[in-house]
Amino acid sequence: MKRARRWGPGLLLVSPSIILIGIFVYGLIGWNVKVSLSNWREAQHTTKWAGLAAYRDLRHDAAWTENVHHILLFTATFIIGALLVGLTLAFLLEKGVRGEGFFRSIYLFPMAISFIAAGVVWRWLMNPAPGDRASGLNVVFDKLGLGFLGHQQWYLDQRTGMAAMAMPAVWALGGYIMALYLAGFRGVPEELREAARMDGASELRVYRHVVFPHLRPVTLGALIILGHISIKVFDLIVAIGGKQLITQVPAVYMWILIYDARDYAKGAAIATLLLIGISILIVPYLIYTVRSERRT
Amino acid sequence: MSGRTQTRRPWRASRNPVLRAALLGVTVALLLALPASGYGKTDARSSAKKSQLEVFSWWTGGGEAHGLQALIKIWNKQHPGTPFKNETVAGGAGSNAKAVLAQRLAAHKPPDSFQGHAGAELLDYIKAGQVESIDFIYKKYGFNKIMPAQLIKQITYKGHLYSVPVNIHRANILWYNPATLRKAEISGAPKSWSEFISDLKKAKDAKLIPLAVGEQWTQKHLLETVMIATLGPSGWASLWKKGGNWNGAGVKTALNRYKELLAYTNSDSASLTWQDASKLVADGKAAFNIMGDWADGYFRVDLKKKPSSGYNWAAVPGTNGVYDWLSDSFTLAKGAPHRAAAVQWLGFLGSKKAQDTFNPLKGSIPARKDANPKLYDTYLKWALKQWKSDKLAGSLTHGVVASNAWNTDIDTALGLFLQNKNVGNFQSALVSAAKKRSGT
Amino acid sequence: MSTASAVPPAPLPVEPASWWRRTRGSRAQPLKYAGLLIFGVLILMPVYVLIVTSFKGIAETDVSHAWTLPHVWTVAAWHTAWNDLSPSLANSFKLAIPATIISTVLGSLNGFVLSKWRFPGADLVFTFFLFGMFIPYQAVMIPLTQLFEDVNFPAGIPRLVFAHIVYGIPITALIFRSYYATIPEELMEAARMDRAGMLRTYWSVILPLSAPAFVVALIWQFTSIWNDFLFAVFLINDPASWPVTVALNNEAGSLVTPYNVSMAGALLASLPTLVVYILLGRYFVRGLLAGSLKG
């Protein structure tokens, strides 16, 4: 009784949020799953049960197979790229440099630019035109004497194109990951580093054995943020690649099915599969978080 | 920071009173301001009461926006008590607009009248009962007589009409730059398939891009013109009826020709928009480009080129006398909040005055046969003449012949073909798409 | 220290305590600056293209001229962009400011309860919130609108503000909860000894220490609300209430796209966010901040 009086107000304070999330997130997820199991395959609304028909359709859909390959390659490149760029930038800034605020603002700036227009710029930068029509980054390579890099096909390469497509995403989010790591670096108590140095550890070893282990939770958190952006990626792909199969990802296909083809059930099935994909990503993270909290 | 000492009872020593004060102030201000300000007003509620006309379109930029503005001006002058509410959403040839519209219709919040490509693209709305039949408007204003009979036939669904076409664009145009052709020793626009191929070869030898294309939809656009050239307008039309012969030799020939053409296109096509591809012709880097006649406005107005000397055109080889058409049209939404105004609007849109006001600005021709040619520029004068005499073939890429769902299936099949160039697979994918979607 | 403290949108960094002492005389310093500059140039490359293109006429704006300076400098594109976007800029402020502030305050309260004033099942509720971040919004626009219609929610900007607040709950709860987890329990003990209630504890213990988390949440929410296109285009039907992203998107006609105007517009539309970064960024740097808690 007494304890309930203690935690009661807390629950009360949070309950409006619980209700809102319940309706606007779980209610809508429920709606979506229901649609995916129905036979609502055209503009006319129906709610008749159709079981897993829409999912089966997806399994035999060549476009879907390609979408999945695209998103996997994109996600892998994007996450690794953004983590590396973020970590490198944070490492360079970590011990404090003159003009840190200036550099930080520059690195964060891309996040402020809407992709509606930045997409066009990236389409130009990654232009694969051959010969004397070459432009964008390919020209820069030539000018800098990096001609050996060749004239890249960028995102038009059938096998590796989606890796190139991750570049603008890294550009947009790299600065943010830098900020996370910078906070992580500065969260490492100076005494720990000093102690290691006293023990005669080289600066390299200090990083390896003292600093980097402390960054693990940051990395994990960043992974989640990047992962969920990546799996749902939409604007960037449409802005750069348009609606073409060669750059199509699940969220784009979902949009096409729902709003162009009016195949609501199949679109909803993609949404459900995306959610499942994301939960595979997030559940281990949640378990880790709760466990490590208990430990402390 | 090191200079800041913490007291032993830190929670009493309020470290940051500024934040608290700011938070309190802002929260109070917001609470006071929210109800008082305009937030209470709602667009939906106020719009339903007032007399006005809500029209939804994707005409946000360029000539089409100017054309629409000109129409709005006339409308507002003629109907001072019923102001025009212009609800436009742009993006990818209307794809954002279509999504927003789909969601509004699903929520039973329709505008009075909305834009859609005339033809099968409207089927979704028709079958879902989201638009009304407007036969009575056609009858009242005599549109069926003044617009070409073939057009009326091609936009009729189960004996009823559902939209008023405002303009006509033509898809099967071959664009070229006369100076570039001279350099490559090409005598002029090719007329037949074999001439076309030999001209493309010449262009290739002259180190030009023989045929400029852009992203996937422009390649679909190219495909449709090749198919019409190969099958003829009646063969093309029969494909879209129930039991259309997709498996036949005609389609196979067309697909092989298409594959042959692709070998003469630029390797960076998927990274270019249609206007980037057309610009390659204007800049003398490419010999030919097959694109709809909106390219005329781009060459003439945006790039400031002179018709016939700076750029020139012809029907796509093999399609002379065939008008591969598409049209922007407006519907009467079921449950339109201001139905009477919408009916008036549709009558107005089909009028000579409206069509001759809008089209010269948009760079298209009226659907009516009685346009005043004096108002139109060089290319459009030519198009007006063709419109009256040509056979009509509906565009696939621009929504005339196939429903949205069928189009999506074709997009996927084409996307795969562009990667693997396997004609057999492509044709069988088209066959199964037709089996699934035709006759619905 | 709690490992969970560094989950994603952790507060931005503090100035290291004595950077001048440690950096003096370091041989790696020039190398470091070279690295920072190279990255700066790489990151600014697309921005350069945005800027030069915005000063060109339309005939010059295509991929082959991406790097070149304008032949003829013109502010026509900026002029057009300003005329087209200025009404909607006001809408964006009207929408982004209240939505950002309300959702940040709400996040702070939620984060506080979920970390410091816990009730049984608080972790479960947190997980329940967190999962909300992952819903693919494009798929649920139709039922969302229907939901608003069913309860007759005032249309226009209020809907959008409300939607941003609701969908901001997960991320703000995450930011504040992980930040508050770093606040030592002793502070809470002290408050408890004084028999302070929940709200009083929040007001006098937690809130004064919250600045860094507030800044992070404000930055994140402002950026995402300001740049949001999807919710805006679906939830607002009246063009007079459109925020700047929708207006910017409308710069592209259905056929010809004036790249120069849309790039000038994009720069214009990103200025407020940039100002927020610069202003609040400095606020971190000045050290009104978190890190000291750990020392």
Residue C9: pLDDT above 80? no
Q: For residue B54, give how far its alpha carbon lies from the nearest alpha carbon of chain C (Å).
A: 10
Confidence band, pLDDT 50/70/90 cuts, at residue A157:
confident
Lowest mean pLDDT among B1-10, C112-121, C174-183: B1-10
The residues in C 270-289 lying below 8 A from A, measured between CB atoms, are 270, 273-274, 277-278, 281-282, 285
Predicted local confidence at residue B149, as pLDDT: 94
Cβ within 8 Å, pair C256-B61? yes
Residue B353: pLDDT above 80? yes
Confidence band, pLDDT 50/70/90 cuts, at residue C107:
very high
Predicted local confidence at residue A131, as pLDDT: 75
CB atoms within 10 A of CB A161: 21
Calculate what percentage of chain B has a pLDDT beyond 70.
Answer: 88
A147 and C281 Cβ atoms separated by less than 8 Å: no
Predicted local confidence at residue C197, as pLDDT: 85
Residue B8: pLDDT above 50? no
- Rounded to an integer, the average pLDDT of C51-59 is 89
Residues of B with CB under 8 A from a CB of A: 92, 95, 98-99, 102, 106, 124-125, 127-130, 215-217, 266-268, 270-271, 273, 285, 404-405, 407-409, 411-412, 414-416, 418-419
B396 and B119 Cβ atoms separated by less than 8 Å: no
Confidence band, pLDDT 50/70/90 cuts, at residue B94:
low
d(CA C160, CA C169): 14
Confidence band, pLDDT 50/70/90 cuts, at residue B300:
very high
Nearest by CB: C233 against B20, B96, B298:
B96
- Rounded to an integer, the average pLDDT of C203-229 is 87
Predicted local confidence at residue A4, as pLDDT: 62
Predicted local confidence at residue C10, as pLDDT: 45
**pTM across the whole model:** 0.89
Q: Can you tell me which residue has the tokens 């407020």?
A: C272
d(CA B330, CA B325): 16
Predicted local confidence at residue C286, as pLDDT: 40
Residue C6: pLDDT above 70? no
Mean pLDDT of chain B: 89
d(CA A288, CA A284): 6
Residues across chain B: 440
Confidence band, pLDDT 50/70/90 cuts, at residue C282:
low
Confidence band, pLDDT 50/70/90 cuts, at residue A187:
confident
Q: For residue B71, give how far its alpha carbon lies from the nearest alpha carbon of chain A (Å).
A: 28
Cβ within 8 Å, pair A125-C14? no
Predicted local confidence at residue B200, as pLDDT: 97
Mutate which of C254, C279, C292 to test chain B, going by most B C-beta atoms within 10 A?
A: C254
Mean pLDDT of chain C: 82
ipTM over 0.95: no
Confidence band, pLDDT 50/70/90 cuts, at residue C99:
very high
> Which residue did the predictor score with more confidence, C8 or A156?
A156
Residue A223: pLDDT above 60? yes
Lowest mean pLDDT among B4-13, B210-219, C48-57: B4-13
Hey, which residues does B314 pair with through a beta bridge? B174
- List pLDDT tens digits, range C145-201: 989 988 889 989 999 999 999 999 998 998 888 888 878 888 888 888 888 888 888
Q: How deeply is B78 buried, as exposed, middle or buried, from its count of CB atoms within 10 A (0-12, 13-18, 19+)?
A: exposed
Q: What are phi and psi of B273, to 5 degrees?
A: -80, 175
d(CA B332, CA B134): 7
B326 and B399 Cβ atoms separated by less than 8 Å: yes
Residue C240: pLDDT above 50? yes
Contacts of C102 in chain B (CB under 8 A): 30
- Rounded to an integer, the average pLDDT of A42-65 is 91
Q: How deeply is A83 buried, as exposed, middle or buried, from its count of CB atoms within 10 A (0-12, 13-18, 19+)?
A: buried
> Which residue did the predictor score with more confidence, C239 or B229?
B229
Predicted local confidence at residue C43, as pLDDT: 93
- List pLDDT tens digits, range A37-48: 999 988 888 888
The residues in B 64-103 lying below 8 A from C, measured between CB atoms, are 64-65, 85-94, 96, 99-100, 102-103
Confidence band, pLDDT 50/70/90 cuts, at residue B169:
very high
- Rounded to an integer, the average pLDDT of C25-49 is 86
d(CA A117, CA C86): 17
Q: For residue A67, give how far its alpha carbon lies from the nearest alpha carbon of chain B (Å).
A: 11
Q: What are phi and psi of B324, to 5 degrees?
A: -80, 100
Confidence band, pLDDT 50/70/90 cuts, at residue C136:
confident
Lowest mean pLDDT among B228-242, B320-334, C267-281: C267-281
Lowest mean pLDDT among A159-168, B147-156, B393-402, C242-251: C242-251
Residues of A with CB under 8 A from a CB of B: 42-45, 61-63, 66, 123, 126-130, 133, 154-156, 158, 238, 241-248, 255-263
Confidence band, pLDDT 50/70/90 cuts, at residue B30:
low
Nearest by CB: A246 against B92, B273, B419:
B419
- Rounded to an integer, the average pLDDT of B214-240 is 97
The residues in B 144-203 lying below 8 A from C, measured between CB atoms, are none
Residue C1: pLDDT above 50? no
Cβ within 8 Å, pair A260-B267? no
- List pLDDT tens digits, range C241-275: 999 998 888 877 666 778 889 899 999 999 998 88
- Rounded to an integer, the average pLDDT of B287-302 is 94
Residue B43: pLDDT above 50? no
- Rounded to an integer, the average pLDDT of C96-118 is 94
Predicted local confidence at residue C4, as pLDDT: 32
- List pLDDT tens digits, range B234-287: 999 999 999 999 999 999 999 999 999 999 999 999 999 899 999 999 999 999
d(CA A234, CA B91): 14
d(CA B326, CA B151): 10
